[in-house]
Chains A and B, each alone.
Chain A
Amino acid sequence: MIDEAWIETIAAQTGSERVEVPPEWAELVPATVQVVPPGVEALQGILAAANERRCPVYPVGGGTSLAWGLPGEEPGLALSLRGINGVVDYPARDMTITVRAGNTVSEVQETLARERQRLPIDVPNADTATIGGAVAANVSGPRRFGFGTFRDYVIGIGVVTADGKLARAGGRVVKNVAGYDLCKLYTGSFGSLAIIVELTFKVHPMPEKTEAVLVGCSRFEDVEAVLAGSLRSRTRPVVLELLNRSAWQELDSVDLDRDWSIAVVFEGFEEAVAWQVETFLDEVRRWTDGRARAEVVHSPNAASLVQSLASFTQRPTPVLAKLNYRPSMTVGLLEELSRLRGTWLLSAHANNGIAWLAPAAERSDGEIVDELAQLRRWAVSADGNLVVRGASFCARTGFAPWGVERGDTWLMRRLKQRFDPHGILNRGRFVDHPRAVEPRVQDQPEEPETERTATSTP
Chain B
Amino acid sequence: MSATASDKVDLLRQRVRDIVGPDGVIDSPVDLVVYECDGYTLEKQRPDLVAFPRNTEQVRQLILLCNELDVPFMPRGAGTSLAGGTVPVAGGLVICFSRMNRILEINLRDRYAVVEPGVVNLWITNRLRGTGYHYAPDPSSQGACTIGGNVATNSGGPHTLKYGVTVNHVLGLTAVLPDGTAITTGGKTEDNPGYDLTGLLVGSEGTLAIVTEVIVRITRDPESYRTLLGVFDSIEDATNTISDIIGAGIVPAALEMMDRPIIRAVEEAFHFGFPLDAEAVLIIEVDGLEVGLDREVDRILELCRKNRAREVRRARDDAERAALWKSRKQAFGAIGRLASSYCTQDGVVPRTALPHMLRFISEVSKRHDVPIANVFHAGDGNIHPILLFDERDQDQVQRVLKASREILEECIRLGGSVTGEHGIGVEKINFMPKLFSPEDLAVMVAVHDLFNPDSRLSPGKMLPIGVRCLEPTHPGRRAPV
Binding site for B on A (CB under 8 A): 91-96, 116-117, 138, 140, 148-149, 151-152, 161, 165-169, 171-185, 187-189, 193-194, 204-206, 228, 231-232, 234-236, 268-272, 275-276, 322, 324-328, 351-354, 382-385, 387, 402-403, 406-409, 411-412, 414-416, 418-419, 431, 437, 445, 447-448
Binding site for A on B (CB under 8 A): 107-111, 132, 153-154, 156, 160, 164-165, 167-168, 177, 179, 181-185, 187-200, 202-204, 208, 220, 223, 243, 246-247, 249-251, 288-289, 291-292, 295-296, 348-352, 377, 380-382, 415-424, 428, 431-432, 435-437, 439-444, 446-450, 462-463
Q: Which residues of B are found within 8 Å of A183, using beta-carbon distances?
A: 199
Contact B437 A167 (CB under 8 A): yes
Q: Which residues of B are found within 8 Å of A193, using beta-carbon distances?
A: 195
Q: Which residue of A lies closest to B109 (CB)?
A: A328
Q: Which residues of A are found within 8 Å of B436, using beta-carbon distances?
A: 168-169, 178-179
* Nearest chain B CB to A95 CB, angstrom units: 6
Please report whether the interface of chain B is mostly helix, strand, loop or mixed according to DSSP: loop
Known: A180-B200, A431-B194. A172 touches B289 (CB 8 A): no
Q: State the CA gap A412–B196 with chains docked (Å).
A: 9
Known: A204-B251, A353-B190. A407 touches B183 (CB 8 A): yes
Contact B439 A166 (CB under 8 A): yes
* Nearest chain B CB to A342 CB, angstrom units: 24
20 interchain pairs, CB-CB under 8 A? A168-B436, A168-B440, A174-B348, A174-B351, A175-B377, A176-B416, A177-B424, A179-B462, A184-B199, A185-B199, A231-B108, A231-B220, A236-B288, A326-B110, A353-B110, A384-B192, A412-B195, A415-B450, A418-B447, A447-B181
* Nearest chain B CB to A341 CB, angstrom units: 27
Q: Counting chain B CB atoms within 10 Å of each CB, which of A384, A402, A445 scores highest?
A: A384
Q: Which residues of A are found within 8 Å of B195, using beta-carbon distances?
A: 185, 188-189, 193, 412, 415-416, 431
Q: Which residue of B lies closest to A193 (CB)?
A: B195
Contact A412 B194 (CB under 8 A): yes
Q: Which residues of A are found within 8 Å of B202, using beta-carbon distances?
A: 181, 184
Contact B132 A353 (CB under 8 A): no
Q: Which residues of B are found within 8 Å of A326, using beta-carbon distances?
A: 107, 110, 188-189
Contact A184 B165 (CB under 8 A): no
Q: Which residues of A are found within 8 Å of B435, using beta-carbon distances?
A: 171, 178-179
Contact A419 B446 (CB under 8 A): yes
Q: State the CA gap A424–B192 with chains docked (Å).
A: 24
Contact B243 A180 (CB under 8 A): no
Contact A177 B295 (CB under 8 A): no
Beyond A175-B380, A177-B203, A236-B289, 9 additional pairs, beta carbon < 8 A: A167-B439, A178-B419, A180-B447, A187-B199, A231-B109, A231-B220, A268-B288, A353-B190, A403-B193
Contact A353 B189 (CB under 8 A): yes
Contact A177 B422 (CB under 8 A): yes
Contact B183 A93 (CB under 8 A): no
Contact B154 A181 (CB under 8 A): yes
Known: A91-B352, A173-B349, A418-B450. A228 touches B109 (CB 8 A): yes
Q: State the CA gap A450–B415 with chains docked (Å).
A: 45
Contact B191 A354 (CB under 8 A): yes
Known: A403-B193, A407-B184. A205 touches B289 (CB 8 A): no
